Amino acid sequence: MLKGHGGNISEFEDIKYDFSTNISPYGMHDKLKSYLVGHIDEFERYPDIESRRLKKKLSSFFDISSDNFLVLNGSIEGIYLVAELFKSAKTAILIPTFIEYEKAAEKFGHKLQFINRLEDITDDVTLIFLCNPNNPDGKFFEREEIIFYLNRYKNTFFVIDETYEDFILKDISLVKYVDKYKNLLVLRSFTKTFALPGLRLGYLVANEKIVKQIYSLQITWSINSLALLAGELIVDNYEYLKPPVELMINESKWLQSEMAKIKGVEVCFSELNFFLCKSDAKASKLKDFLAKNFSVLIRDASNFRGLSEKHFRIASQLREKNLILIKGIRKFYE
């Protein structure tokens, strides 16, 4: 089984600069922090099992029924619940991508098919996991491209993971299409955009029938009280609390161009705040060197199916930290 994710700073003694996890470099907004601190008493009460207030706010935000939403303990809970609902199905996964799709499918006995293009889908596939935009390379499909395949394969359920949709400067979301396409399930997350991975909060959007089926599998009190409050505040203040995405992308593109100048590094250019690279050396050696000599952590991407031991992923930070990363990588190749 494939294992490993970014953000594992405990792997090394002294990490000051984490480029391994593709979360907003601006961190959690001060307004959200102070709001959560001010509502710490919520821990004294059980959370709403049905997340009614948050679903109502999401309904208003997207202008679709609250019955189309299922609030999750991070979007990863949705991945496992969907895999459980479709247990033993023939499932396609577009690679390279987030390894939890494969792990969830394996857990529930799916027959896996790994594909490199949507054109490779076969008629006997029941379920497909598609990260859009994709982790780890930042590639994405336009909305119309996915709609084409939703129409072409009406008996195949498409799970579109939009965790990184906020980090692209165009609207490719399919959330508002879940009633039109009964074979469409969309996963969303608050984690990356609003920098709260430890709080665990996401949601699934699909037609009402599918949502009810998945809800029946969800563990009671899966989402904690503070996570629900955070989600409610975020939805009410989405644009205000959202980080300056355009600045993030511009900085990422600057970093990509600087990295491409380093002999020994091949950059897979991305429109997002993270991107994939290929090194002349093993990624594990580069990772160890940067951690021990510059307190920098990168994501060794060799455990992504379809990638090699020389691939690594970078999540752009602010300029001061990015300069330290460039200095460290240049030193490695001297």
Cβ count within 10 A of residue 317: 23
* Six-digit token string for 42: 């919520």
pLDDT for the residue numbered 2: 43
Quote the distance between the C-alpha of residue 103 and its chain's center.
Answer: 15
**Helix (H) or strand (E) segment spanning residue 20:** none
Q: How far apart are CA 167 and CA 275, in angstroms?
A: 12
* pLDDT score of 6: 56
| Average pLDDT along the chain, 334 residues, taken 10 residues at a time | 54 88 95 96 93 98 98 97 98 97 98 96 97 97 98 97 96 97 98 95 98 97 96 98 97 98 97 97 96 96 96 98 98 93
Pairing of strands 157-161, 184-189: parallel
The CA angle 27-321-22, to the nearest 5 degrees, is: 45
pTM (2 d.p.):
0.95
What pLDDT, in 10s, does the model give residues 185-218?
999 999 999 999 999 999 999 999 999 999 999 9
| pLDDT of amino acid 5 | 59
Phi, psi of 186 (to 5 degrees): -120, 130
Encoded tokens for 17: 């600069």
- The token pair that represents 27 in the structure block: 């961190």
Looking at residue 29, its amino acid is H
Angstrom distance (rounded) from CA 334 to CA 324: 16
DSSP 246-293: HHHHHHHHHHHHHHHTSTTEEEE--SSSEEEEEESS-HHHHHHHHHHH
Look at residue 9 in the predicted model and tell me its pLDDT: 60
CA-CA distance, 296 to 17, in Å (whole number)? 5
What are the chain's domains? 9-26+243-332 (3.90.1150.10), 30-241 (3.40.640.10)
pLDDT at 109: 98
